[in-house]
Amino acid sequence: MEVLDEKQGGAPPMEIDEVVSVRDRESHALAVPQRLFSNPKCRHRPPDEAFAAKQMPDLGHDVKDFQVFTWRLSGWKKLDKKLTSPEFDCGGHKWRILLFPFGNSNAPPNDTVSVYLDYAEPKKAPEGWHACAQFALVISNINDPTVFTVSHAHHRFIAEECDWGFTRFSELRKLFNIEEGKSRPTIEDESADITVYVRVLEDPTGVLWHNFVNYDSKKETGSVGLKNQGATCYMNSLLQSLFCTRYFRKAVYQIPTEDDHPTESVALALQRVFYHLQTSDQPVGTTELTKSFGWKSLDSFLQHDVQEFNRVLQDKLESKMKA
């Protein structure tokens, strides 16, 4: 289970300079499990765009779908250690709230609330599935929705990371006690609403918020990258551009290098880099190429001017072609 120990990856709790109701006072549509609420109506309430706009920053991505789901709980002190809400749909995916009323196993017991957005039934999802979602999790008073605690985050949900949220969402004592400036506690008479606001975002590139831990570049794009030796990203960018220039690549392959050694011949080392970029399933190393320039290990950690590097490279290739 992936968790955020602090709100927004270590940021301080959100300062709220204006009270905004978690729930539209005219709407009482709730999604609730029958065994936990005396009025067991399972339904969705209209999305509260104003609250979401205030609590969830615009990330600059197109929104595919936006839904709000509320789960009412009562008898808090008698709840199980781990609970999941009924499922709801957003963006073509099924979601649910995952709650540890007294903290999960990674947190000190009985002093916190842990709450997460959980992708429901990830094992039934198609192979390679993912969903990019921005969300806000809210615990609010059932009688006065202006009394609430909120945290927000965003995440790329995948099979290996199918839940995301907050291990230390709030201390229990803060939820059960009346905070300064409030007339009620968040959890009153052992009851509270847990609401999640979910934006499923478009991912036109297919790699939005990707951690690339299990990313197969060859499978996804037909190409592989170059390993960074330390500060050789400028060189890698140039080499990839030259490799994708078909006539240049063909000209490099035609340079005679039968009697050369790859760590002493720039032309042969570049041929080998291009060949591995075409045939390898793994990122390609450039150590032979940098050694052919006479570089030592330290030189790979120094930033060089890409135009100067390109000039030297082209001069060496031209000299080899003329020879």
| pLDDT(16) > 60 | no
| pLDDT(197) > 80 | yes
Interval 245-273: pLDDT, tens = 999 999 999 999 998 898 899 999 999 99
Residue keyed to tokens 């006072």: 25
Residues 118, 182 share a domain: yes
CA–CA dist 65, 122 (Å, integer): 19
Q: What is the pLDDT of residue 121?
A: 86
Residues 38, 173 share a domain: yes
Residues 71, 43 share a domain: yes
Interval 113-160: pLDDT, tens = 999 999 998 888 888 899 999 999 999 999 999 999 999 999 999 999
The last residue of one of the domains, among 149, 173, 201, is: 201
- Which residues are CB-neighbours of 209 under 8 A, at least 6 positions away? 132, 154, 155, 156
- Find the CATH number of the domain harbouring 57: 2.60.210.10
The amino acid that residue 209 corresponds to is W
Residues 109, 153 share a domain: yes
Q: How confident is the model at residue 322 (pLDDT cuts 50, 70, 90)?
A: confident
Q: How confident is the model at residue 300 (pLDDT cuts 50, 70, 90)?
A: low
Q: How confident is the model at residue 108 (pLDDT cuts 50, 70, 90)?
A: low
Q: How many domains does the chain have?
A: 2
The secondary structure element, H or E, covering residue 59 is none
Residues 282, 312 share a domain: yes
CA–CA dist 58, 46 (Å, integer): 20
> Which domain range does residue 262 map to?
217-322
